[in-house]
Amino acid sequence: MNRSRRIWGVVGAVGVAAALWMVAVPLLGHRLTVTGGPPGRERLEIGLAPVVIVALAAALAGWALLALLERVLPRSARLVWTITALGVLLVSFAPLATSGMDVATRVILGALHVAVATVLIAVMTRTAAHPGLSTVADADR
């Protein structure tokens, strides 16, 4: 049962990222463009595909880490995973503090990070094995 909930959590995280991008870019007409590296470098436009791929990669990495923690630290997996997820979210804001993008792009990208993290943290912590369960396999039933 937890496996299907986690799958839906991954789908939800990717879906919310895609939905936010669809509102910001085609609907509101804001182009998400960033520059990086030396001055004069060409601007990079962030399209739907990179948003979906990064959200999917983050979701699957989060799931994999939680599964590993449930096996290695069964009593504290949920707590360790949640603290780690919040730490990753905070670190993900670092590139938004650099130059190379306008304020609207920073806000939209920050909102994408928060939205994906919110879905993942909500779903994964609810599906994490409880300390009272005898085995991790029991949690997947």
Please give the Cα distance from 35 to 53 (Å, whole number): 20
Please give the Cα distance from 32 to 102 (Å, whole number): 9
Q: How confident is the model at residue 16 (pLDDT cuts 50, 70, 90)?
A: very high
Please give the Cα distance from 8 to 37 (Å, whole number): 37
DSSP 31: -
With a CB cutoff of 8 Å and minimum separation 6, the contacts of 24 are: 30, 32, 108
Share of the chain above pLDDT 90, in %: 79
What is the number of domains present in the chain?
1
Query: So what's the pLDDT on residue 99?
Result: 83
| Model confidence at 140: pLDDT above 90 | no
Structure pTM? 0.86
Please give the Cα distance from 14 to 61 (Å, whole number): 13
Query: So what's the pLDDT on residue 32?
Result: 95
Tell me: the pLDDT tens digits for 106-118? Answer: 999 999 999 999 9
- Whether residue 46 contacts residue 33, with contact meaning beta carbons closer than 8 Å, is answered with yes
Tell me: the pLDDT tens digits for 49-101? Answer: 999 999 999 999 999 999 999 999 999 999 999 999 999 999 999 999 988 89
**Parent domain of 24:** 2-35+42-139
Question: Residue 88 half-sphere exposure, CB side, CA atoms within 13 Å?
Answer: 17
| Model confidence at 138: pLDDT above 50 | no
Query: So what's the pLDDT on residue 63?
Result: 96
> Can you point out the beta strands (E) in 18-106?
33-34, 44-45
Q: How confident is the model at residue 10 (pLDDT cuts 50, 70, 90)?
A: very high
Q: Encode burial over 37-70: b for 16+ CB neighbours within 10 A, e otherwise.
A: eeeeeeeeebeeeebeebbbebbeebbebbbebb
| Model confidence at 141: pLDDT above 70 | no
